[in-house]
Structure 1
């Protein structure tokens, strides 16, 4: 599948189908995500979010407690750490401005954010397609 934000190839997550989606696709370049299938939509493309709202906190037993890392869409932190059982914390966002934020994750967030074209940053810039009844 081609990314609607930057035009690069997306990869499919090895996720089990749920009521909201049957497939999840992510772009490893700009980190745009597309959800396909599910009960209400055929294609859901979440809009651009500012860096303060975009990244989940990475959670894993092997991560140091004194440094917070951003969870990337490829099953590792944005700075490249991979730990067994790592997952995103859906309860807590990773905040790049906090004093304990990983510097390498912070740099990567800036690089990824610059990859989103300004034309794709509006609330309606990415098109979701509803199922026809």
Structure 2
């Protein structure tokens, strides 16, 4: 599947089917997500979110708790730390906090810049309801 935001290659997440989606796809370049299937949508495309509200904090055994890392995808932080079983925490990762990982912040800025201005509006990404 190609990304509707940047045209990049999307990767399929290993996720259990739910009422919201049967598959989740994530762009390897701009990190846009596309949710396929589920009870309400054939295709759901979440809108652009600014850096301050887009990322959740990463948690995993072995991850330094004194540094706040952003969870990217596939058991990795935005800065590239890979630990088996890593997941996102229920709290947002805030790039301006004193303990925020600088490398995660730099990656978040680069990813944010990959979203064209034309697709940053709330209604810019089209979802298809059932």
Report the TM-score, using the length of structure 1 for normalisation: 0.96
**Do the aligned residues in 1 keep the contact of 2:75 with 2:84 (CA within 8 Å)?**
no
RMSD: 0.7
User: 1:56 — aligned with what?
Assistant: 56
Q: Give CA-to-partner distance per residue, 1:19-53, whole Å, 9 cap, x none.
A: 11000000010000000000011000000001000
Q: Which runs of 4+ in 1 moved over 2 A?
A: none
Alignment of 1:27-42 (within 5 A): 27-42=27-42
**Do the aligned residues in 2 keep the contact of 1:28 with 1:74 (CA within 8 Å)?**
no
- Secondary structure of the structure 1 residue equivalent to 2:5: coil
After TM superposition, give the deviation of residue 56 of structure 1 in Å: 0.7
Unaligned stretches of 5+ in structure 2?
none
Report the TM-score, using the length of structure 2 for normalisation: 0.98
